[in-house]
Structure 1
Amino acid sequence: MDTATDPTRTPFAGPGLDEIEAARAIVARVAQPTPLETSRYLTDVLGAPVILKCENLQRTGSYKIRGAYHRLSKLTAEERARGVVAASAGNHAQGVAFAARELGIHATIFMPVGVAIPKFQATRAYGADVVLSGSIVDETLRAAADFAAETGAVLIPPFDHRDVIAGQGTLGLEILDEVPGVETIVVPIGGGGLISGVASAVKQRAAQEGRTIRVIGVQAANAAAYPASLAAGEPTEIGLVATIADGIAVSKPGALNFEIIRDAVDAVVTVTEDDIARALLVLLERAKLVVEPAGAVGVAAILAGLIPAPENGAEPGPVVAILSGGNIDPLLMQRVIAHGLAASDRYLRLSIMLPDRPGQLARIAEILAGVNANVVEVLHTRHGNGLQLSQVELVVSVETRGTEHRQQVIQVLRSAGYDPVLEEE
């Protein structure tokens, strides 16, 4: 959804450039400048230089440490003595736990009951008390708010707070220093903390320099609260559908975040689950980077053709895609890789009904070998639903080289008299 934007308009509803500059000195105590990696593959796809900002390599595995540390550093001595509480399924939890440890503040973190074990263990390893409560994040947030009311602990919001936004905005300043000619920045959006900070920083700096920098936000289509909210003109709650990008699955934008995004972000686009899975696979294979699904949506948008190449000057300027986090559950990674291969037409599962007589399995193997298809897994059973007494079912998983090869595999089986049925991963 496009938003009418005047890039020279300042100040924004959120923190001013001076606030973000001051936050930078504070955040620098714990956050390291993360690498930038030029992607030749994505450059060829987009037709403009694409640079990956690797916040997946940040301490705690995401950008969240920036906003969390900045917010906690602003607490008074009396507030610090009361301790802090936060609710999160992962990155915000780790950011708050780490920041609290560094500042000597006691932290209690509420996490959903089904949280990924690596995220639970990492949060506890930073010294926080971890409480499992609620089956979804909204329930966990309510439990944390109740705890704050009962104990006096300071509730640290994940995105809707001026100090948090200013902390996240330090990433925008870092990009401007490292890629001074940047023309477009692509940013994942959940509640809006990261993009509102980055947009506040880069739009105000660009206005001072008399130039334009586009900021484009990306949401998972299954959790896209911003397009609906921008259309309605106010933060609007949506029903969430399950998404692999759980780190940006937020049902309603933050109030302050919404104001900044409405005024300072040039467009918000959405990507599908298949788009995200393909992006993770590209980052693994081409960039050798482990990125969580939420952190890869910017790359997904580039691959899906949703990010137009910059048009300023004779040569398009750089596009920076922020990889916002790398905290992915290994079991989820396994499933996502398989899904990404299938979405890229490089992996398929076929169900084939065979007559129950000797030699059929060998014949299928010979046919597949004839078209250089690599068989990954085979299931041969006489007990499937709907099978006749004279039939067996063969489920074969095959690795292919792409769309053309995939169609060739299916066609050669049909030409041999079989009726392969494609199974979803």
Structure 2
Amino acid sequence: MPQSSVIDDLGAFIQASPTPFHATRTLADRLLAADYQRLDERDAWQLQPGGRYLITRNDSSLIALSLGEPGALERGLRMIGAHTDSPCLRVKPQPDLLQANLWQLGVEVYGGALLAPWFDRDLSLAGRVTLRDQQGQLHSRLLDFRQPLAIIPSLAIHLNRGVNDSLAINPQLHLPPLLAHASEPQRDVRSLLKDQLQREYPELQVDQVLDFELSFYDTQPPACIGVDGDFFAAARLDNLLSCHAGLRALLDSDGRQACLLVCTDHEEVGSSSCCGADGPFLEDLLQRLLPDAEQRIRCLQRSILVSADNAHALHPNFIDKHDGNHGPQLNGGPVIKINSNQRYATSSETAGLFRHLCQQAGVPVQSFVVRSDMGCGSTIGPITASRTGVRTVDVGVPTLAMHSVRELAGSRDPGYLIRVLREFYNCEELPG
């Protein structure tokens, strides 16, 4: 796929995916359009040789499975893992605030968000809502207001003269977005959601909004920027970029090998949930795919997981934040992430395989090691490796402004990642 087509498709994917719920629905819709069959974990499964399936959990995590040709499982699984969630502002259960005659919603910070970039942005609201209809039936539906309906105004410099020296943001006091003037009768979030439900689902006769999981997001669309279009800016690049690359690689693969795409929620808060990488979702699937324990272990020991999550690119204004020999460049290709303390699960064997695949795909490759005097983040790689015993390599596209409301990648790197992940899915022989 040409570079411009990759970027356009990635931009459309991100625009359709303002929350993990929407990302999972977008992934599922594209897989269903490619003739994948949806499985329900509550049903008995009849998996067929060569079958292609998808499973979702909590509406926010997804596993896609392509069984490949006869005998493919005996060669092991080619697995790619990513996550659907991103740092954001989540609406509290009882969020309505009335201050200075203005209607606001209280929020909670989800994940390790950079907070300053959220100010003075055109924000919208999306997520999942549980409701009761007029017949007493319960439903859950996804909502996306799409248009800007909120903003978090900065405090004028005249009232905070030292703001450019240091900015202390109190999430409780300073982050509630502003929605409207107070009105009579007083508005509340449930009436707002009820009206939106009726617009998006006119067939529903909504009696009561019972509960919700809602996130604010920046409405500014993705853009290819720079004098020569070298950069790609968007919200939620961490880690929808990797979800998209894994999806494109799976759909473009030759279908001969046994392949998994695992996109799970809650990575930004530790992955410990029923649908997170530290939960049983993947293991439950593997046990149903390979009920015999010995056969399952043999298969996993022949398998490899590529844990795809964005890497830190070298920032030109903060060169000293990187180890001198390990500063990945934008548009320099995917990055192999290495940490001796197992914050990343890469080994020399799995790194060697990934370098080999990059050479086979004609893709440049880089490496990242955090400075020895700084702490290191982590990914789903070590979690999945420790739970399943599968050999793992941690990789990712280099980005700037990670965990900001708007992040930056090189415009060529998403295509590079897709090419090497497709090569991985098509790889006939794995080491060991």
**Which structure has the higher relative contact order (CA within 8 Å, separation 6+)?**
2
> Normalising TM by the smaller chain, what interval?
under 0.3
More helix by share: 1
**TM-score normalised by structure 1 residue count:** 0.27
**TM-score normalised by structure 2 residue count:** 0.27
More strand by share: 2
